[in-house]
Amino acid sequence: MSESLRIAVVGFGEIARRQHVPAIARTAGAALVAVVDPVTTQAGLPHFRDLQALLREGPEIDAVALCTPPQVRRAQAAIALAARKHVLLEKPPGAAVSEITPLIAAAHKAGRTLFASWHSRYAPAVEPARHLLAGRRITKVTIIWKEDVRVWHPGQAWIFEAGGFGVFDPGINALSILTRILPHPVFVRRAELAVPSNREAPIAAELELSDEGGAPVRAEFDFRQTGPATWEILCETDAGPVALLRGGRQLRDDDRVIVDADKDEYPALYRYFLALTADGKSDVDLAPLQLVADSFMLGRRRFVDAFEE
């Protein structure tokens, strides 16, 4: 293996271009050496239409970052692991929970890293929030996660297809933070999913959850918000309110601002990925994906107005 971890990005859409490419460039010990996408290229890098072509004809790589839609990610991860490559899975790690367990076994057999990368957990205020809440009794949590799908997912029709998660694509970011900062597991109690009459995945959702002690957690996800996005997790505790705002970039303890930073999440994510590969370890936390799966299983569906791009 070379001194740098040689990475190929598979699926070169907006998230790959906007986040993965600059994060790899800023990470010591990582190098982007190829791009895999049926259409889109990156200037100055070898380009391949599919992963098999890269593995057959391309430069030597050590790892792949899979940034394709979740419906096809399992097959790509299996191919990469069979070729003994480390695998970083963009969130969500797959279209179904059952897809991931065989990949964990394949990574172990190959002696390679499998990393389910919940990028929102690397926002600068998330770990401080976890440490703050560890010493408190949480009595109630409210999640408000709303954005304009036309702004944040333009032209991404797959997101409303079966397996595309709909509003849970951003909503799972909130759930990944929730399952990181709370000291106890949470469970879905009730869900209501608003599905456009011409689509297969929800455009909005309301969830009722609770932790092991019965503390209520309410989540509101909506793709129909216009103007600035709202990404907030509000906790009521025995020592006063704690608010995680701006998608995990600001932390408030009552009226005091504890953290307020605009640091990017992905460089920290890639530093951790490099550490995992160096140590020969995997990190595949399925808790956020399980909550989404439970929401679909328990959710009552109501059809709403058709959604047109």
Catalytic positions are: 91
Q: How many CB atoms lie within 10 A of CB 143?
A: 22
Cα separation values, 306 from 51, 80, 170, 192, 199, Å: 36, 39, 20, 17, 7
Amino acid identity at 243 = A
CB 281 within 8 A of CB 172: no
Q: Residue 241's closest CA among 231, 249, 232, 252? A: 252
- 296 burial level (CB within 10 Å; 0-12, 13-18, 19+): middle
Tell me how many degrees the CA angle 284-287-290 measures, rounded to the nearest 5. Answer: 110
- 254 burial level (CB within 10 Å; 0-12, 13-18, 19+): exposed
- Cross-strand pairs, 238: none
**CA pair distance 141, 284, nearest whole angstrom:** 25
